[in-house]
Structure 1
Amino acid sequence: MFDMQKMSEILASRLLPKHFSLIRAVVEYHQLSLAANALAMTQPAASRMLADIERHVGAAVFVRTPKGMEPTAIGRALARRAENLLEEIREATREVEAIRRGLTGSVRVGAVTGGAVGYVVPAIKALKIEAETADIHVDVAPSDTLIAELLAGQLDFVLGRIPTGIDARQFTISGMLEETVDILVHQSHPLANAERLTMADLVHFPWVMQAPGAPVRQALEQVFIAEGAPIPSNIVNTTSLLVMIAMLAASNAIAPFSREVSDLLCRQTTGSGLTQLDIRQPISVAPYHLISLAGKRMSPIAVRMRDLVIGEFESRRRS
């Protein structure tokens, strides 16, 4: 049986990361020539490196079979360790690069719900690839709350709208993010499969939505008014996304959601049981923006997060 202590000594003092890269590549491709090509090496160089590995280990690492090169028990053990070791090296490299670029510390972002789902979440995913240890905080709230927190220095930047009565000159405003509203119900709802619905078709059902004055609700009410339909009277007011989803699941309630949230619930999340109603009249909300305090210097990690959000916006605008 192979001596695991001896293996540990070999790993610590003799074998190098390039050796483990070759072992993993041969396991993946089953041919030395293909493994060498994947590592941008010549086959003779790969052969010499494999001979060095087997000399260090003191036993065969691969055997040649009709199906190609197959690892021995020792080869399989080395291959398992190769995955862990190379990932540790990659993580160390990312961490060092993050420190070198200043991508450490905390960043606090505020966003309306659609902006959080559509732009902040993809930006977080990208940032975590570059700076795994970054401490990221995301506040999801109405724009008036977000702007108040931004002015108080509690947020680095926000995705939202500048409330009425607030002097816009104190901010740096970037981009214009469109927001479309979808109307969602549970799949068992009587209107779930109906086509080309008018707002009058929806009036007599219970609704769950944001409080009066919220941009999504204002946009929805404007469509009711434009179509000459009465605004629903049976409404539960909430800012909680979870409460809205629970109400839809438990009743024939109807709820408006931004397109980004609607896509997440109905298309990207299996088993939600929710579906979009086919509404004749499109519903659009006033655009929101990426807003930061003018003259305030952000940390490198916050700047990078902001740039990734803007990049996500530009990517979607081009598609």
Structure 2
Amino acid sequence: MEKLIARLQLKDFRLIHAIERTGQLALAAEQLAITQPAASRMLAAIEKAVGTRVFDRHPKGMTPTAVGQVLVRNAATLLQELERAVHEVEEIRSGRAGSVRVGSVTGGAVAFVVPAIQKLKQEAVGADIHVDVAPSQALIEGLLRGDYDFVLSRIPPGVDARQFNVRRGRVEVIRFMCRASHPMAGASGLSIRDLEGYEWVVQAPLMPMRQAVEDAFVNAQVPLPREIVNTTSLLVMIAYLNSTDAIAPTSREVVDLLAGRQEVSDLSTIDLDEPIILHAYHLISLKNHTLNPLAIKLRDLVFAAVSA
């Protein structure tokens, strides 16, 4: 069997398939753009390799023998699989398919990654896209491990930025959310002192958003909140806000997505007279990591949105 496998080549299956479809050697040769004598020699070599006739010759054409029927059936399958493989390779090379993994801070994911994926999916229907939302420290660690093709993130202190390709992103504006029945719901033009005494749902200590909020309290000489629930989960934040009088700082993009949309949550906003602004996050990839075409397309779509 191994010898037979070695002797039969792809061109042989193309000829078998063409003869079965046309019923004549001359038409099969024409379809394959070879001469009829060349096709005749190829068929003779095939029949020698399998040790029996593959086609019966008749005055009106050629029909496959029992062995020929097996080869015809498998030739069709083989050529279809080859065509599918070529198509998939071309899809990946052109960025219309393949796999890409992205990490992002929450605001960047909502504002830029999701819309970019929607655009990409219009032409990359079969693309396998993974998105993780996490704090910058976890995102950069994941990028260094090779978990992500690129991230929208800040570069944490102590991390050597020279190992990255960095495209400038956006600052994050912090707004505050609470449940719709909260005493402060819908208020604007407030000072940080007006928020004193409430429970908070916020990121863990040393996270950029937590640090920025605490700095605002300290700069206004207002005591830091005593009751705090620490979480990076948007779902946990929403659930807790809906059932308590807690306040949660989050990015402007998340507020725009959730607040006032009862089909999503029963949340409202609280706005200060002077917004709290986080330093910018960036579009970051590793210098020694070559992106596949799909990842390049998504990266460019995200960057175009960030730069708009």
Per the TM superposition, whether the score is higher than 0.5 is yes
Contact 1:185 1:276 in 2 (8 A): yes
Residue 99 of structure 1 and its aligned partner are, at CA, apart by: 4.8
- 2:256 pairs, out of 255, 258, 263, with 263
RMSD: 1.9
- After superposition, give the CA deviation of every residue in 1:251-299 in whole Å (9 maximum; x if it has no partner): 1010011011110001566452111113122110111000000132110
Larger displacement relative to structure 2 (97-106 or 111-120): 97-106
Structure 2 residue aligned with 1:249? 242
Q: Does 1:163 align with 2:156?
A: yes
Structure 2 residue aligned with 1:87? none
Q: Does 1:233 align with 2:216?
A: no
Contact 1:170 1:293 in 2 (8 A): yes
- 1:199 pairs, out of 192, 202, 207, with 192
- After superposition, give the CA deviation of every residue in 1:143-184 in whole Å (9 maximum; x if it has no partner): 111111111111100000111111100000002211101011
TM-score using structure 1 length: 0.66
TM-score using structure 2 length: 0.69
Contact 1:159 1:288 in 2 (8 A): yes
Contact 1:95 1:131 in 2 (8 A): no
- 1:145 pairs, out of 138, 141, 144, with 138
Aligned residues: 222
Residue 101 of structure 1 and its aligned partner are, at CA, apart by: 1.3
Partners in 1 of 2:159 and 2:262 — Cα distance? Answer: 38
Q: How does 1:16-165 map to 2 (within 5 A)?
A: 98-99=91-92, 101-165=94-158
- Opposite residue 251 of structure 1, the aligned amino acid is T
Post-superposition, which runs of at least 4 consecutive aligned residues in structure 1 deviate over 3 A?
94-100, 267-271
Unaligned runs of 5+ in 2: 1-86
Structure 2 residue aligned with 1:215? 208
Would the alpha carbon gap of residues 179 and 195 (structure 1) be closer, same or farther in structure 2, given more than 3 Å must change?
closer
Would the alpha carbon gap of residues 96 and 268 (structure 1) be closer, same or farther in structure 2, given more than 3 Å must change?
farther
Question: Looking at CA atoms only, which structure, 1 or 2, has the larger radius of gyration?
Answer: 2
Q: Does 1:272 align with 2:265?
A: yes
Q: Does 1:182 align with 2:175?
A: yes
Partners in 1 of 2:214 and 2:188 — Cα distance? Answer: 21
- 2:278 pairs, out of 279, 285, 310, with 285
Structure 1 residue aligned with 2:166? 173
- After superposition, give the CA deviation of every residue in 1:33-85 in whole Å (9 maximum; x if it has no partner): xxxxxxxxxxxxxxxxxxxxxxxxxxxxxxxxxxxxxxxxxxxxxxxxxxxxx
Partners in 1 of 2:160 and 2:118 — Cα distance? Answer: 33
- Opposite residue 172 of structure 2, the aligned amino acid is E
Contact 1:95 1:132 in 2 (8 A): no
- Opposite residue 131 of structure 1, the aligned amino acid is A
Structure 2 residue aligned with 1:59? none
Partners in 2 of 1:195 and 1:259 — Cα distance? Answer: 14
- Opposite residue 256 of structure 2, the aligned amino acid is D
Contact 1:249 1:273 in 2 (8 A): yes
Residue 105 of structure 1 and its aligned partner are, at CA, apart by: 1.1
Unaligned runs of 5+ in 1: 1-93
- After superposition, give the CA deviation of every residue in 1:214-270 in whole Å (9 maximum; x if it has no partner): 111111111111211111111111111111111110010100110111100015664
